[in-house]
Amino acid sequence: MPPLIDTRSGSRPSAEAKYRALRHAAWQDAAAALASAGITAELRPIDVAALAAVACWRDRRVDWPWHLMIPDWRRNYPGRFEVGIWHGGVLCALAIGRPAPKASHLSLYYVERNPDPANPLRGKVTGAVIDALAAYAIVLGKTELRLVDPLPALVPRYCSPPFGFRLVTPASGGPYCSRSI
Amino acid sequence: MTVSTRKPKADPATLSRSGGNRSHAAEPIPTLEEAQKRLTAAAGRPRPWLTPEGLAVFADAPTEDLGPDVYKRPDAE
């Protein structure tokens, strides 16, 4: 397996370490909120354990190669949002996104839920990911969340009153759901 | 006492990949202390997706995946 952190650039390890600490602060904030809502979850980086766990998922809706995606994103985006959501030793979901440079939004690009019907956080993954995303946006000083390339069938749920997103279909580029925080 | 008039060297973590030209510098990275202050200031914010009504929205969703059907490699910044 290739190294997960690109160390070719002299500045990159420093930025990587700083953003890692910021992501951890956001995860702690979100984990506390989840606990208050009765949801026990651990939020962690997408590490070797997570990549090993996702390799065991069966009947996946998508065939995203997380073992390739993570090195790609780590190489290009030290400020990325990433999270692996665990419950009792079970990997329940993975998510990755990134902040817009010189703009006010933080975008979520990929979320995959463990398709196992016994996933203990089934139905709670979206709320958990969005809460962690919102916390990271606050940390970075961003004021808008974007869900890029949403599944059409899920858009009404994102746009429901509790979630409060609205669908944006730009003239160029793909659709996304947007929400202010 | 000798005082250096040289400008302090910029934090390499805030420099752009093209060499740190000021006009192209990356956004500054918040410190952990700044981050904690921001989270503390926002502690009472609404989290409607974690209310019982919010958690009910995806309770019966067949999937909670987000993204394209096929992975698209990101362009380097």
Query: Do A77 and B77 count as a contact with CB atoms less than 8 A apart?
Result: yes
Residue B20 predicted with pLDDT over 70: no
* B76:A76 CB<8 A: yes
- Please check the confidence at residue A32 and state whether its pLDDT lies above 50: yes
Residues A132, A34: Cα–Cα separation, whole Å: 10
Q: Which residues in chain B have Cβ-Cβ distances shorter than 8 Å to A116?
A: none
Confidence bin at A173 (pLDDT 50/70/90): confident
**CA neighbor of A137 nearest in space, from A178, A166, A168:** A178
Q: Do B13 and A15 touch (CB under 8 A)?
A: yes
Assess whether pLDDT exceeds 60 at residue B1. Answer: no
pLDDT band of residue B17 (cuts 50, 70, 90) is: very low
Q: Is 90 exceeded by the pLDDT of residue B11?
A: no
pLDDT attached to residue A9: 43
Mean pLDDT of A70-78: 94
Mean pLDDT is lowest, of A116-125, B26-35, B41-50, for: B26-35
8 Å CB contact between A44 and A83: yes
* Contact between B63 and A154 using a beta-carbon 8 Å cutoff: yes
Which token pair is A67? 């073992």
CB A45 within 8 A of CB A85: no
Mean pLDDT of the region A98-127: 97
Summarize the confidence of residues A36-46 as an average pLDDT: 97
Nearest to A162 among B14, B57, B71 (CB): B57
Q: Contact, A79 vs A140, CB < 8 A?
A: yes
Q: Is residue A34 scored above 50 in pLDDT? A: yes
Which pLDDT does position A35 carry in this prediction?
Answer: 98
CA separation for the pair A53, A114 (Å, rounded): 10
Q: Other C-beta atoms within 10 Å of A120: how many? A: 15
The ipTM is 0.91
Strands A166-168 and A105-113: unpaired
Interface of A with B in 20-39 (CB under 8 A): 21-22, 25-26, 29, 33-34, 36-37, 39
CB A85 within 8 A of CB A128: yes
Q: How confident is the model at residue B74 (pLDDT cuts 50, 70, 90)?
A: confident
Q: Does A157 touch chain B (CB under 8 A)?
A: yes
- Pinpoint the alpha helices (H) of chain A: 12-36, 48-54, 66-76, 125-140, 155-158
Q: What distance in Å separates the CA atoms of residue A137 and residue A77, rounded to the nearest whole number?
A: 15
* pTM for the full predicted model: 0.86
The pLDDT of residue A11:
66
At position B27, the amino acid (one-letter code) is E
The pLDDT value recorded for residue B23 is: 40
The mean of the pLDDT values for chain B is 76
- What is the percentage of chain A residues whose pLDDT exceeds 90? 90
pLDDT at residue number B26: 67
Higher pLDDT among residues A104 and B5, named by residue: A104
* pLDDT number for residue A52: 98
